[in-house]
Structure 1
């Protein structure tokens, strides 16, 4: 595995262990900044995301909010698959899209009006879940919207954590399946540090 990817994974894994997010939220823009393309970035991060989140699921599966999970399967997953398929088959500046979304996340924490608007959207759950699917399919960063939704429901810590974890893992599984169906192969060697596909 290339040294820069290994360093990025160690950093984001530490952040994940401390704050509950990090692998995708920080790993995706970080690998893109290092010059790796979007599909390759997904092929590196998603298996790790699945492993970390499934550990949480196995530990607390009795606390999963299955009502929300079923709605995510119905209203978010199809849009994740569709827009990931689209974004991997057209030429678009993924970095710009991710940058805009990260600015939105930052502003949300600064301006209460943006936070309030997001909470208003959450009341229309089906539409919110569809938007979340579109965002995650295009940027791999829909998890921040997922976290906001689950926290807004006011569940206990165990329910919140494991519901977020099962949803994250499911996102990642369907993203990997989509990459497989479209024929993407990362060709990433895990035993050396040769360069990998980068954006040109």
Structure 2
């Protein structure tokens, strides 16, 4: 199996890398990767550098016929969460990698072809730095939007526990009645009534699909889509 050059240029389809193959080879290399990532006594390396090295190692092993890129990107965020650098897996490194795909593949090739670890590590550290900044801004925008919506909901007569209602509609961009009733925050009739009130004051937008009502927090949806 070969990894081929993408795109539509002159070199499109040209083999650029041959992953390791052979009986027991993949198993041995994956076992080595797992040991490297989890044995912090033998391999005393900063977690950010370890993430970058481990990501390269996984992509070089290329164990699957499809989905190696997606799996490798998930690997990054979950590793940082496991090591305590993140409380939640919300650092969207995939966006940076996709937007800088050519530099990403060049950096990977730099290691496999020339042993250029510095170029690869700097690429991944820049990805973390820029993504962390964007994520911080996005979180602040969400908090500001939530506070503004809480103020609107609090000003409405007849809505009890406005803070819990606000939290519910900011948990995800699309809310249904059952999201407000599953933990018994509100009864079904109360939840439906409150969501319809939020539609009337422009906090959420109601969409009906297949007879089911969905309430869209447009502000949150817009922030997440940026």
Normalised by the size of structure 1, how large is the TM-score? 0.32
> Which protein has the bigger strand share?
2
For the pair shown, the structure with the greater C-alpha radius of gyration is: 2
